[in-house]
Amino acid sequence: MGKFVDKPVDNLADKSVDNIQTTDEPIEGTWYAALATQLTSLDASLTDLKKDQLKQLIISVGQALESGHTCLLLTTQNPLPELLQHALIVDEKQATAQPAPLVRAEDYLYFYRQWQQEHRLAEQLTRILATVRPVNVQFEANETANTRQQQAITLAAKHSFSLITGGPGTGKTYTLVRIVKALQQAQPDLRIALAAPTGKAAQRMQSVLDIAFAESGIQSSQIQTAQTVHRLLGLGTTGKPRYHQRIPLPYDLIVLDEGSMLDLALASLLFDAIAPGTRLIILGDADQLAAVDAGAVLADLQQTPALQDHQIHLQESKRFNAMQGIGQLASAILAQDVMTFWQTFHKPENQSILKHINPQHLSDQQLFDQLWQGFLPFARALQDGQPVQQLFAVFDQYRILTAMRSGRLGVKRINQEMSRRLQLTLTQTAGFSDWFAGRPVMMSRNDYGLQLSNGDIGLCLPDHSGKWQVYFAHLSQPIAVTRLPLHDISTAFAMTVHKSQGSEFNRVAVILESAAQNLLSRELLYTAVTRAKQQVDLWSDTTAAEQALHNKLVRHTGLQRQLQKHIIALNCEQKQTAL
């Protein structure tokens, strides 16, 4: 066999699945089918039957990866056991010495790259844990942080790695501010990097922390502006980072927000680039959707027994009352409590907060007219000639979130209908122009030349000469539409729930369709509902909503096992050294 070479992956683009993918769909033309054909052709000794069985096994690993798993769970339905003895497949011990296309680890089968990423991440986290510089934290008698927040502050000051999880409004930002203040008092020249998986999440992180840092008297001269993890690592179009183990990131503290969106490939690169002695704090909500790409890093970190002393889960929400409104709805979703879920919509005190509309009872015209009502304040702001920043503020009051890109209530159709209604409102003509006043657009790929990140939202407006420009909230100057990569731009009245992560709006319309049954899940519904601060409109029939409630996503990974093994080994080594 030829030498197996691991190549970097372009992880700059939006890899959201268009619609439902099932293993029943044709696999010809997929990358993993081509790989299976190439690998099995290397062994001329295989019979046609064995070649087909091995090819199907490789395809199954590829399908698992496409579904978000990092590996394939081996079951009695997999091909004959002797296939696992083939030279293309090695065990973990062999994989550390000699890479091979596939790695078997207990009951899981990996492509080498994903196995290496999990193995490497566990090694690097163990290295981070081994370098501890505790900072003593003193709480005043009039301390405003609750008990769990105080525990989180003490935890982060004590350890080089901390995981702080919690739902919306549980005080993750407040707790982080207190941590930064404590660490700055111990080390005034503390160099701090702030990052998030997407541009939108980084912008929100920065806007919230700007206010919080100023109110707390925190010196921000040594705090870098929040940026995407890609930009933090210096990832270019080649997929190779500027910062890595040999050239680590030059910071004393790295804070990652929206940790649930972190996929395995990006997490592995991030952990690899953290210098000895640097603190890493990850914030997030493990009940939200996992990353679009393979892995469930935040959930795996949270569920690793050996990391229990390095994490705290904040529970008391100041944004939502757990007994009413959005808070009660979110709790019912997490508990998969169907009865409480529907009862919450019918409570008298929730009538102005929670609305349920069955789209099957409406014509298309009625349906889209009702969805459009939420954008009327935005249309009026455009008619009044409001300043750009005010337009952004009004536009962010409302968003339509859906599971699918195509279909009657998919992103594409909704955006077409909302675009038509905005043009009718402003010009009294429907128009079919790609660019029009007020068109909201979203980037689906990082473009460092334009300083744009995947997920950034812009608004199209004419300049004084009538030429179309797109304004982005984080940029001081607009960008001419002729400079934008049109294949990486889409209209953004509606977006998938995945793309909404890291954002929040006053009101959201959450759309669920039974046609999207393979995409509907407890995590998707919870993520969508908790994007709202004040009002949730659920557009769904009973079947689709209950399908989402009953379906709890599970991703097959081996990261917990790798972490547990490496951390236990470190603890044993430290105990031996102490004797």
Q: Look up the CATH number of the domain holding residue 228.
A: 3.40.50.300
- Which of 91, 112, 133 terminates a domain? The answer is 112
Residues forming the annotated binding site for ATP? 166-173
* One-letter identity of residue 1: M
Classify residue 122: in a domain, yes or no. no
Please give the pLDDT value at position 321.
65
Same domain, yes or no, for 377 and 514?
yes
- Which of 319, 344, 365 terminates a domain? The answer is 319
**At 161, is the pLDDT very low, low, confident or very high (cuts 50, 70, 90)?**
very high
> For residue 205, which of 294, 144, 282, 273 has the smallest C-alpha distance?
282
Classify residue 7: in a domain, yes or no. no
Please give the pLDDT value at position 563.
94
The boundaries of the domain holding residue 96 are 20-112
Same domain, yes or no, for 375 and 498?
yes
Same domain, yes or no, for 414 and 354?
yes
Phi then psi for residue 164, to 5 deg, are -120, 110
Please give the pLDDT value at position 3.
37
Question: Average pLDDT of 365-389?
Answer: 95
For residue 2, pLDDT over 50 is answered with: no
Same domain, yes or no, for 233 and 100?
no
Same domain, yes or no, for 300 and 269?
yes
Residues forming the annotated binding site? 166-173
Same domain, yes or no, for 403 and 515?
yes
Please give the pLDDT value at position 20.
35
How far is Cα 451 from Cα 231, in angstroms, rounded to an integer? 10
Same domain, yes or no, for 405 and 370?
yes
The tens digit of pLDDT for each residue in 403-443 reads 888 888 899 999 999 999 999 998 866 655 789 999 999 99
For residue 185, pLDDT over 60 is answered with: yes
Please give the pLDDT value at position 525.
96
Look up residue 243 and give its two tokens. Answer: 């910062």
Question: Average pLDDT of 169-184?
Answer: 87
> For residue 434, which of 374, 367, 385, 487 has the smallest C-alpha distance?
487
Classify residue 3: in a domain, yes or no. no
Please give the pLDDT value at position 262.
93
Same domain, yes or no, for 202 and 230?
yes
Same domain, yes or no, for 356 and 311?
no
The tens digit of pLDDT for each residue in 338-365 reads 999 999 999 999 999 999 999 988 999 9
Classify residue 460: in a domain, yes or no. no
Strand, coil or helix: what is 288? coil
- Which of 319, 337, 361 terminates a domain? The answer is 319
Please give the pLDDT value at position 317.
75
Same domain, yes or no, for 314 and 332?
no
Classify residue 571: in a domain, yes or no. no
Sign of CA dihedral 408, 414, 420, 422: positive
Classify residue 215: in a domain, yes or no. yes
Classify residue 226: in a domain, yes or no. yes
Same domain, yes or no, for 301 and 408?
no
CA torsion, points 479, 454, 236, 162, in degrees to nearest 10?
130
The tens digit of pLDDT for each residue in 30-47 reads 899 999 999 999 888 888
CB 164 within 8 A of CB 314: yes
Please give the pLDDT value at position 46.
86
Average pLDDT over the chain, rounded to an integer: 87
Same domain, yes or no, for 341 and 311?
no
Classify residue 242: in a domain, yes or no. yes
User: For residue 374, what are the contacts with CB-CB under 8 A and spacing of at least 6?
Assistant: 397, 398, 400, 507, 509, 537
For residue 165, pLDDT over 90 is answered with: yes
The number of domains in the chain is 3
Please give the pLDDT value at position 141.
62
